[in-house]
Amino acid sequence: MRSADWSKEKGIADEAHFNEFVVEVQAELIAPLIERQGVKNADYLFRAAKVIGEHKILETDFAQSPNMLARVDMIFAKYTGDDLTDRKHPLFRDLFGLLRIPLKRIIEKANQQIKETKLELGLKDHRGLIFLVNDDFRSAPPRLVRDLIRSILREKERYRSVDGVVYITNHYVEISESPMASLIWSPIYKGHPSGRLIDFVDWLGGRWSAFLEARIGPFENNMKIGDINWDRAYVVTGPRRVERYEGED
**pLDDT over threshold 70, residue 249:** no
Residue 225 included in any domain: yes
pLDDT at 27 over 70: yes
Which pLDDT score, from 0 to 100, does residue 12 have?
Answer: 96
Confidence band of 233 (pLDDT split at 50, 70, 90) = very high
pLDDT (0 to 100) of residue 152: 94
Residue 185: strand, helix, or coil: strand
In a domain, 249, yes or no: no
Task: Note whether residue 80 is domain-resident.
Answer: yes
- The answer to the question of residue 191 being in a domain is yes
Amino acid at 172: Y
The per-residue pLDDT for 226 is: 67
Confidence at 2, pLDDT banded by 50, 70, 90? very low
- Is pLDDT above 50 for 8? yes
Q: What is the DSSP string of 110-174?
A: HHHHHHHHHHHHT-TT-EEEEEEEESS--SS-HHHHHHHHHHHHT-TTT-TT--EEEEEESB-EE
What is the number of structural domains in the chain?
A: 1
The domain in which residue 137 lies consists of 6-235
- Domain assignment present for 113: yes
Q: Which residue has the higher pLDDT, 39 or 62?
A: 39
**248: in domain:** no
In a domain, 47, yes or no: yes
d(CA 191, CA 61) in angstroms, rounded, equals 25
The pLDDT assigned to 220 comes to: 61
- Among residues 146, 118, 109, the alpha carbon closest in space to that of 230 is found at 146
Greater pLDDT, 234 or 66: 234
- In this structure, is the dihedral angle defined by the CA atoms of residues 194, 200, 206 and 211, taken in order, positive or negative? negative
pLDDT in tens, 62-86: 555 667 778 878 888 999 888 877 7
Q: Report pTM.
A: 0.88
Q: Is the pLDDT of residue 60 over 80?
A: no
Q: Per the domain annotation, does 56 fall within a domain? A: yes
Question: For all residues of the chain together, what is the average pLDDT?
Answer: 89
Cβ-contact 30, 45 below 8 angstroms: yes
Maximum CA pair distance of the chain?
Answer: 58
